[in-house]
């Protein structure tokens, strides 16, 4: 067994983009992720699907007993030969007890490495527009624990501390009043400016500016809660000058930090599509597929041997690749070690009968079997049920801010949206350009839905500077989409842009399971109408005279295709 190793990794102040490159790489490699309550789900989502997640958050008042348990878990998992990522908010050696964990690992002969992170002691003030050092206001800064303020016997020299320029207290919300009182008692003016930064770079970021004399009262009124960073000193006044500086980590209108778009729900989509994954696995087990793929087998020969439609067979095989059961090679599809060991009848470790029985108890793959045997049929539009419409609208609303963000500059003319997400697109555009003309049409709503029911794009307001097509491809036939693309290009002004955002656009790189399974599910339900491939879409846009085609990956299993009309 290979020796294990523990990486004590700083996760930074919260936003996934503020991870170090090394931290992100280790998350993707780790076999075990040990984390606490300061780690966001968006950061954990970087871990490989097979990684074991162990939540080791510490209940209030039980920090020492829980820390002993963490030590034991780190040693045990490493001795099992695992790559263990001990993920800690901020920097692991700045009030993160990372030093204690490193000591314990060293004492028990476990290999370890410490990866620094961006400490919230510096990042939180920065997020609020507060520079902790400044040539004219502060030549030194002290980082202090807020836990010892209530203790009469403390290692903190409050008299010396009160004379320093900038003070940053971590974990100081509950003891803010005591901290302020001690500083005032040792010579700091009650009028000294101070600030609390709650959840820096997180969704609920909030900033409270006060003075030492009234911070306890203001804190209670504002409802600031942990985790929050307490900054004391004249540098707090700088916030008035630099807090409005723009940054790539976008903010809502209320000033709170967010991602563009909001948190990535790929894990939730994976769960929602898991039923179809069970169907694909059940079908493969039923026909003993994994016995046939012990050596790589071309899809054509597999389809012929199993009596499957050739194109549909590729979709099933790709779904099994996305699930981590097969590998796609130059000479065909072959088993990964997991499948070779447990899913073949010919293996002494086979669990095929057990897994087949278990899958049959929870799902039926009759429709999937019919699809893979019959192949594509004529396109059948999905029923206009409220749940389906709500699902399309929710996905468009979720992605709209990220789509609009791809506009590098103000559109040269009015903006038209065809499809889902009207209110969200309107709001995202208004935030950047309040006076920009915007119109919206959704031919996919209502009983007479369908792109074929869409009247010609209105000429009033044309030529348009930008046209967004949102959620059209998966719900319409290729012919209808071709027509709407032609109309859009005709209505687009010189130098204008077309954006196509859709949920299931397969790319040259195999998408994650929720995308592959979602696309397969739509094709089974709609009679096999395949979504446009990116290559086909690019070729169509090029044939229509558009140029500069770009493909952007967006969260929630979606892609955005962008193309422009050459300037006259």
User: Which residues are marked as active site?
Assistant: 36, 58, 171
Sequence-ordered list of residues with C-beta below 8 angstroms from that of 250, at least 6 positions apart, any chain: 258, 259, 260, 401, 405
| Best CA proximity match to 191, nearest among 175, 221, 212 | 212
| Best CA proximity match to 484, nearest among 415, 541, 408 | 541
546-554 β-sheet, strand order: 438-441, 415-419, 464-470, 492-502, 558-565, 546-554
| Best CA proximity match to 92, nearest among 23, 158, 150 | 23
Q: Two tokens at 537?
A: 């879409």
Q: How many CB atoms lie within 10 A of CB 462?
A: 17
- Please say whether the beta carbons of 307 and 373 come within 8 A: yes
User: Phi/psi at 421 (nearest 5 deg)?
Assistant: 90, 30
Residues 84, 75: Cα–Cα separation, whole Å: 9
Q: How far is CA 311 from CA 280, 331, 349, 434, 445, in A?
A: 15, 17, 32, 48, 31
Label residue 352 exposed, middle or buried (CB < 10 Å: 0-12, 13-18, 19+): buried
């Amino acid at each position: 067994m290979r020796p294990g190793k523990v990486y004590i990794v700083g996760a930074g102040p919260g936003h996934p983009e503020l991870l170090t490159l090394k931290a992100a790489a280790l998350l993707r490699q780790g076999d075990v992720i040990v984390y606490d309550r300061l780690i966001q789900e968006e950061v954990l989502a970087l871990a490989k699907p097979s990684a074991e997640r162990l939540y080791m958050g510490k209940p209030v008042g039980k920090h020492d007993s829980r820390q002993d348990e963490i030590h034991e878990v780190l040693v045990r998992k490493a001795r099992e030969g695992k790559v263990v990522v001990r993920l800690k908010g901020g920097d692991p050696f700045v009030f993160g007890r990372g030093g204690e964990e490193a000591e314990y690992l060293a004492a028990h002969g476990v290999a370890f490495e410490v990866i620094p992170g961006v400490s919230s002691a510096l990042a939180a003030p920065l997020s609020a527009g507060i520079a902790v050092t400044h040539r004219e206001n502060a030549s030194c800064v002290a980082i202090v624990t807020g836990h010892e303020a209530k203790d009469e016997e403390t290692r903190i020299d409050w008299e010396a501390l009160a004379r320093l320029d900038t003070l940053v207290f971590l974990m100081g919300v509950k003891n803010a009043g005591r901290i302020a009182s001690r500083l005032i008692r040792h010579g700091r003016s009650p009028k000294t400016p101070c600030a609390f930064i709650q959840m820096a770079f997180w969704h609920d970021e909030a900033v409270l500016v006060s003075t030492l004399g009234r911070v306890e009262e203001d804190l209670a009124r504002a409802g600031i809660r942990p985790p929050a960073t307490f900054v004391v000193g004249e540098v707090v006044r700088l916030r008035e000058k630099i807090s409005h500086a723009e940054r790539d980590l976008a903010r809502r209108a209320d000033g709170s930090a967010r991602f563009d778009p909001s948190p990535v729900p790929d894990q939730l989509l994976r769960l929602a599509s898991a039923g179809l994954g069970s169907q694909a696995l059940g079908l493969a087990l039923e026909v003993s597929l994994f016995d046939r793929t012990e050596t790589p087998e071309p899809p054509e020969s597999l389809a012929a041997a199993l009596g499957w439609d050739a194109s549909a067979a590729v979709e099933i095989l790709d779904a099994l690749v996305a699930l981590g059961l097969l590998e796609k090679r130059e000479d065909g599809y072959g088993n990964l070690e997991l499948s070779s060991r447990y899913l073949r009848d010919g293996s002494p470790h086979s669990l095929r009968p057990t897994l087949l029985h278990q899958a049959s108890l929870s799902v039926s793959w009759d429709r999937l079997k019919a699809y893979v045997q019959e192949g594509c049929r004529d396109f059948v539009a999905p029923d206009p049920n409220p749940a389906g419409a709500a699902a399309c609208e929710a996905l468009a609303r979720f992605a709209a801010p990220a789509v609009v963000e791809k506009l590098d500059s103000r559109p040269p003319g009015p903006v038209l949206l065809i499809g889902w997400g009207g209110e969200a697109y309107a709001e995202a555009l208004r935030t950047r350009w309040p006076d920009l003309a915007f119109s919206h049409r959704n031919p996919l709503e209502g009983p007479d839905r369908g792109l074929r029911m869409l009247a010609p794009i209105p000429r009033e307001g044309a030529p348009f500077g930008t046209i967004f097509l949102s959620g059209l491809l998966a719900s319409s036939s290729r012919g209808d989409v071709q027509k709407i693309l032609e109309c859009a290009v005709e209505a687009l002004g010189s130098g204008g842009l077309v954006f196509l955002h859709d949920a299931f656009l397969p790319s040259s790189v195999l998408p994650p399971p929720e995308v592959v399974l979602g696309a397969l599910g739509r094709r089974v339900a709609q009679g096999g109408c395949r979504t446009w491939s990116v290559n086909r879409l690019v070729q169509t846009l090029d044939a229509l005279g558009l140029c500069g085609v770009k493909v952007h990956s967006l969260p929630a299993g979606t892609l955005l295709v962008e193309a422009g009309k050459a300037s006259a």
